[in-house]
Structure 1
Amino acid sequence: MQTKYQTSPIPSRSPSSLSNSLRGGSPLPVPVAYRLDCMTAAAKRYKYLRRLVKFRQMDFEFAFWQMLYLFIAPQKVYRNFHYRKQTKSQFARDDPAFLVLLSFWLCASSVGFALVLQLGFWGFVKFLVYVIFVDCIGVGLLIATVFW
């Protein structure tokens, strides 16, 4: 005889039922590696580039906090990225505000250098392209490759 508090098991294919079968019936949440809703790299890139033009949705305060603390106390920024890696299984932020602020500061410093060096408009454009593609991206790729 079944009481009103007993329920019959209903088979389902939800991610939680999958996690219970993968984890031996444990009531703990599914590890991120087993999640079924993980996006591909192309989908993440599309989502990131789409957010690049939506300035109202960007968290500039947090991005500025990260920039400031990279100079003052980088261990706090590392700890923040470590927590993100543990909870979301990704190091990268979903918010492109840091990239927008970095671009702004690169342009502002390039304008300052162009004024000090008395460069013309095309000299400034060439200098800005050099700063972005050689100094920032190229050296970043080289350092990341060496330390990989």
Structure 2
Amino acid sequence: MYGLHKTILVLVTLLCWGISFIFKVDYSIIASEGITIISIILAIYMTSFSSLVSSKLADKMSKTQDKQLRGKSELGVLKGYLNVAVKFGIVNIVIGCILLLMKNKLKANINRNIVYNILSATGISSLADNIFLMYVLFIFMINRQLWNK
């Protein structure tokens, strides 16, 4: 990943996590919707990458060295971004499922402990990270498609 994107990703993570933890935001309220959104995003990543692999654009990207990351092809950089995005997506789905299960066990807000708040803040920050990575990958792919023409 590019340094700027790593920095922004860390800032988004810390900012969303901190705000969510301080204000005790309950991610389980939107966990089901978050899981749905992330599942759709992951499906789009998989289909776009699989359709890209057999295209002429993929051949060009594999032969073109990236301008910011020397020694890596543009296709390698895209693969790195997709790997990070998929990992964040899986983390979000797992945390969302855990929180939905915990929500059923913890009926009253009083019973919600520090572990629940940490998981909830992590779910919110990973959802924000996924949205940021979706934007970055969208811009990356649009720029390559325009470059291809």
- After TM superposition, the score normalised by the length of structure 1 is 0.25
Structure with the bigger percentage of helix: 2
Higher CA-based Rg:
1
Higher relative CO (Cα under 8 Å, sequence separation at least 6) belongs to 2
- After TM superposition, the score normalised by the length of structure 2 is 0.25
